[in-house]
Structure 1
């Protein structure tokens, strides 16, 4: 069964038209192509459709084989990291035992805390990390997800390696770019909490210099928020807060430090 076929079955069971099923998430023409197997839907749009129609993610994917379920689950986790949806991650931590260890580390990273995991569990996760200088999409997501497993000196080595190898990273690839900016968001939050002003300013500048791409424009807005925090610019902080609230970024707003 394909994603499109499962969407059609769910839609039929809900007695909805294609227009009703996809309203607000994607266009009807695109949705029709997805159902007919002529286009692939990205995970964020799929999750939006499921959420607005009150369809359980777990129920939707239960018809797929285990490897497919695991692949999709990782996409969901990355989407939650990108949106700083800690509440969803905590729910998955309780409901999905096979991901409990990884999710513990992810949640610790997003809340700027040390992961409460055994040394063996930490070593197991780190063993899949990769090598310095090899910053592809997977390696970047690993660092963005599991930064809590590393102490400050280790993180500085990894971030410095990213800075030095920036030209070898596929910045024209949107997926890689999103992974990279999530590394920097996690590092920015951690550096700010540790009162490392030099690293905060360096990270802000690095993000500002990344390519102009719609997929990371929101993240660039967040750097302006941090800059306003440093400059004690309450007017700008209030403005950015209103923009975040208006555009439904409540999860991200809850994650950001306050004055």
Structure 2
């Protein structure tokens, strides 16, 4: 089952109405109803907020409601890996990794990504598996067409020597020059690579060089839609810190914290 259906089953098991299920959150009944029906995309903060208010751990939700042989596994696995990484939830990440490796239909890219994320959580953001995972990205000459390869690159950039990653990022920029011509989810995956590059590079250098400028300009080509709001906010943050605009960067951090992205805001390099 998809995540929306899994939420409905959880709500039924708890004996709650939709209004009761979202009590204590900022989510409206109308929005939540569409989440259950699969009409609205479930964002990380939505799921985490709902589960926390109902005192349900992410690992419990994964184990009891998403471990379904007939589910859209790759989509669910990918979503939960993102959530586990954001929440630094090692138990949930390890459970998803176990499911991925026990599922013979799982792609090698997804297995590598699960290994990377568990390793990153285990080692507080540092990974020891970069070389093998980078090699898996180049398994295909046309790797830029593979969503899992793009996602893997986005995750790996956070832990690798960022300078070695510049050619890969520029390959994506050449392939997808104008992000707003792509579907929203594709834009999100591609722009995340750029954001993670900026995140890592800023920790190494405060130089506003041509590479940084090109990546920021590239991310600016994303569509101006709510679904990509946080991507554009983070891009604006990095532009502000490189330009020395402290008031803007501080305001963006505060907005992220108010919106529930406390961990993300605290991790952002100044």
State whether TM-score is above 0.5: yes
Listed as ranges, the gaps of 5+ residues in structure 2 are 99-110
Determine whether 1:190 maps to 2:204.
no
Distance apart, 1:30 and its partner CA: 6.1
Distance apart, 1:168 and its partner CA: 7.8
Conserved? CA contact 1:140–1:183, under 8 Å: yes
After TM superposition, the score normalised by the length of structure 2 is: 0.72
After TM superposition, the score normalised by the length of structure 1 is: 0.74
Q: 1:216 aligns with which of 201, 223, 228?
A: 228
Determine whether 1:134 maps to 2:144.
yes
- Aligned positions of 1:1-259 closer than 5 A: 6-23=6-23, 24=25, 27-28=28-29, 31=32, 39-40=38-39, 42-44=41-43, 45-46=46-47, 48-55=49-56, 56-61=60-65, 64-65=68-69, 68-69=72-73, 71-79=75-83, 85=86, 87-88=88-89, 90-96=90-96, 98=98, 101-104=115-118, 111=125, 113=126, 115-117=127-129, 121-122=132-133, 125-126=136-137, 130-132=140-142, 134-147=144-157, 151-152=161-162, 154-167=164-177, 171-195=181-205, 197-198=208-209, 199-258=211-270
Distance apart, 1:242 and its partner CA: 2.1
SS of 1:226's equivalent in the other structure is helix
Listed as ranges, the gaps of 5+ residues in structure 1 are none
SS of 1:64's equivalent in the other structure is coil
Residue deviations 1:42-99 (CA, integer Å, cap 9, x gap) = 3434554334323332244255128755641221223556xxx2523x4434555536
CA RMSD of aligned residues (A): 3.7
SS of 1:134's equivalent in the other structure is helix
Residue deviations 1:12-65 (CA, integer Å, cap 9, x gap) = 332212221245475545655776xx6455343455433432333224425512
CA, structure 1 residues 150+225, in 2 after alignment: closer, same or farther (shift >3 Å)?
closer
CA, structure 1 residues 211+80, in 2 after alignment: closer, same or farther (shift >3 Å)?
farther
Higher relative CO (Cα under 8 Å, sequence separation at least 6) belongs to: 1
What is the total number of aligned residue pairs between the two structures? 248
Higher mean Cα deviation, 15-24 or 98-107?
98-107
Residue deviations 1:153-188 (CA, integer Å, cap 9, x gap) = 541111111121224867441100111111011111
